Amino acid sequence: MVTAAPSAAVITGLGSAFPDPYAQQSLWDDYFAHRYRGDALARRLFLGSGVRTRHSVVDPRREDISDWSTAARMRRYLDEAPPLGRRAAGEALADAGIGAAEVGLFVVVSCTGYATPGLDIHLARELGMEPSVRRLLIGHMGCYAAIPGLGAAADFVRARRQPALVLCVELTSLHVQPAVTHRDLEQVIAHALFGDAAVAVVVLPDAPHGLEILDTTAATAPASEDLMTWHITDHGFRMGLSPQVPDVLAKHVEEATAALLVPIAADVTDVGAWAVHPGGPRIVDVVEERLGLRPGQTAATRRILDTRGNCSSGTVLLVLDQLRRGLATDATVVAMAFGPGLTLCLALLRAR
């Protein structure tokens, strides 16, 4: 019996959708300055986050939801997430040149809202997917979750020779926390960095053009679970973000990147493009320093941070979208993202 060779899994379509944009300075002046009582350090951290504009389904200047219950926030999530997801998925499908009915696997990624039945089943029906479509929901993995999503999609495409669609929908603005009487710098940074977005990618078997997914890997720093957290509370989900995160990341990013490149006998000097998750300015600085990258190699990352903020799981895909059209054939691309654990997830891609 002759066994068919596995298909290549190739990213051929990307799409994104955003709610209304807001200027960082205006958000500070009109809302957060009062919340933090004009604290000079809070102001410096908020305005020094590397974010100039970001998008939000909630404008805190007009609608303060900081005291809303988690149930109320989840109802709002179900109002806001589906239309953004539909727009991003539709754009990705059109970019790839396929219809929703051709999708064999639909992966939905989100850590900012929950419902059962979830976005996967609602959007599969609304987009026009077949009742037989396989669905996978990836939740509560945080900012690196797109890469496990891509890994699952790539495995499916190689094995089944059918298209897959990965959709990340994150509405972090629904989780602004109640004000506290003491200075809470972790929350200042969280409120300064995060924005809302939906981002989708289509993965096709053996497509002649696009980004072939060669491999995905993960590395979790030992005993680092408390450094980055996302706790469900009575008032939404609360971010815990230790200032030690960049230092711990610095200890592991070189080894993790080298391990990713070993199977193709490459090193960092062979990489043609870097899609680094813009977790914050210090994190980007650390990656540059430890991997010896030039500022131009992380320019797309800093541009997304500047114009979109950190949109959690979908952000690394936004960076890939910035990079993909200018790549030479056979260029090696490394995508990396960081999140709770403390975990580094990486994807190895090759331009076709």
Interstrand relation of 105-110 and 134-139 (parallel, antiparallel or unpaired): parallel
Nearby residues of 352 by Cβ (< 8 Å), 6 or more positions away: 10, 207, 208, 209, 210, 211, 212, 329, 330
Per-residue pLDDT, 183? 72
345 as an active site residue: the answer is no
The DSSP line for 267-295 is -GGGEEEEEE----HHHHHHHHHHHT--G
- Confidence (pTM): 0.96
Per-residue pLDDT, 182? 67
State the catalytic residue, choosing from 111, 143, 168, 311.
143
Cα-based distances in Å from 140 to 57, 170, 263: 20, 11, 30
Per-residue pLDDT, 104? 98
Residue ranges of the chain whose pLDDT lies below 50: 1
Per-residue pLDDT, 3? 55
Domain definitions of the chain by residue range: 9-205, 211-351
Per-residue pLDDT, 212? 98
211-351, CATH topology level: Peroxisomal Thiolase; Chain A, domain 1 (3.40.47)
What is 9-205's CATH number, 3.20.20.70, 3.40.50.1970, 3.30.460.30, 3.40.47.10? 3.40.47.10
- CATH topology of 9-205 equal to that of 211-351? yes
Contact between 57 and 63 (Cβ < 8 Å): no
The token duo for 310 is 């950190």
